């Protein structure tokens, strides 16, 4: 006797929005993502995520990373994060700032520690690299600031991946006494 698989999620259209979406729950976590322009595209992505999670034993975050190309923190290295960070920064920063950041981050991306996942890189790794370089103190600060901006961006991406809305939390106010 063949057992029927339980439904993993659903595919639907959202009022006032283009395309099709999918939604599923896993371990108390509710995930909603845009699945594509057609119902079939969204259903295929949902099916692929189900395979990654149920058959291959991957976490929801890792499955979303593999199927949708979302960032998955444990595997993201500094060197791999440079281009996505710059793409995101282009939306808010001036072209001259992007150009300077790109130059500095690409230099940093060639460091030995830049091949490690972001979570394993320590401030001591970066400080040692900066101390060994022949940069002026002002340039070291600029390189440190560029690296810090990338790490802050990566942290925001990780927070978004788990579904926490940092903007909402930041706007809350303490109750008046």
Confidence of residue 85 (pLDDT cuts 50, 70, 90): very high
- Where do the structural domains in the chain lie, given as residue ranges? 9-70, 74-161
CATH number at 74-161: 1.10.150
pLDDT of res. 65: 77
User: Does position 137 have pLDDT exceeding 80, yes or no?
Assistant: yes
DSSP string, 92-123: TS-HHHHHHHHHHHHHHTTSGGGGSBGGG--H
- 13-17, 24-28, 74-78, 151-155 — which is least confidently predicted? 74-78
β-strands 9-13, 29-36: how paired?
unpaired
Q: How far apart are CA 177 and CA 11, in angstroms?
A: 46
49 sits in which H/E element: helix 39-50
- Cβ 118 vs Cβ 76: under 8 Å: yes
pLDDT (tens digit, 9 = 90+) per residue, 17-49?
889 999 999 888 788 888 889 999 999 999 999
């Amino acid at each position: 006797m063949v057992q029927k698989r339980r439904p993993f999620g659903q595919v639907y259209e959202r009022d006032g929005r283009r395309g099709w979406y999918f939604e599923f729950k896993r371990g108390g976590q509710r995930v909603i993502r845009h699945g594509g322009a057609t119902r079939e595209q969204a259903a295929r992505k949902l099916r692929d995520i189900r395979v990654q999670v149920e058959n291959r034993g991957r976490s929801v975050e890792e499955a979303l990373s593999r199927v949708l190309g979302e960032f998955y923190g444990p595997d993201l290295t500094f060197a791999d994060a440079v281009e996505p960070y710059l793409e995101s920064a282009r939306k808010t920063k001036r072209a001259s700032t992007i150009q300077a950041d790109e130059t500095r981050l690409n230099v940093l991306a060639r460091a030995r520690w830049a091949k490690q996942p972001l979570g394993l890189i320590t401030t001591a790794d970066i400080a040692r690299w900066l101390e060994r370089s022949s940069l002026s103190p002002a340039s070291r600060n600029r390189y440190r600031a560029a690296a810090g901006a990338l790490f802050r961006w990566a942290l925001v991406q990780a927070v978004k991946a788990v579904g926490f809305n940092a903007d909402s939390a930041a706007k809350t106010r303490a109750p008046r006494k």
